């Protein structure tokens, strides 16, 4: 059941970005999954097929205010390649994360909140 190939989960990504980004990632051998807002309350590990679904809270219709990209099953070189691909193709997705043993149990909403906290902390450090 464990997924061994690299996967990118895309959340609230504009259609134009999806049309440009999806083929670029697939050319690199990376599977792409576009996650609908109805699945924002499903833990990442379930979306990735790493754990069988159990009781899932229904998303009350919350949409993320901006796109988010989550990378799974990639080496550090693979992550760097994705970031380079985004830069070279001028595709801007500010909130990006890599799965870890800790955050695999998180939902999209939890991941989004954590990335926002990290971004704010980074902004405060830079001042």
Number of domains, the chain: 1
Rounded CA separation 120/122 (Å): 5
- What is the pTM assigned to this prediction? 0.91
Residue 71 lies in a domain: yes
The DSSP bridge pattern shows strands 31-35 and 7-11 to be parallel
Range of the domain at 85: 7-126
Q: What is the mean pLDDT of residues 28-33?
A: 96
What would the pLDDT profile of 89-114 be if each residue is shown by its tens digit? 999 999 999 999 999 999 999 999 99
Query: What is the domain-level CATH number for residue 89?
Result: 3.30.429
Q: Is the dihedral of CA 56, 10, 65, 120 positive or negative?
A: positive
CA distances from 70 to 32, 35, 52, 67 (A): 10, 11, 20, 10
């Amino acid at each position: 059941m464990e997924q061994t190939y690299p996967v990118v989960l895309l959340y609230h990504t504009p259609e134009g970005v999806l049309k440009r980004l999806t083929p670029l990632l697939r050319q690199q051998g990376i599977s792409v999954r576009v996650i609908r807002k109805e699945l924002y309350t499903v833990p990442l590990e379930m979306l990735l097929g790493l754990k069988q679904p159990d009781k899932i809270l229904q998303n009350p219709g919350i949409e993320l205010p901006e796109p988010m990209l989550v990378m799974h099953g990639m080496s550090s070189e693979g992550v760097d390649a994705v970031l380079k691909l985004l830069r070279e193709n001028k595709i801007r997705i500010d909130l990006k994360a890599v799965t870890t043993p800790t955050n695999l149990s998180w939902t999209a909403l939890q991941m989004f909140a954590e990335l926002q906290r990290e971004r704010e902390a980074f902004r405060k450090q830079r001042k």
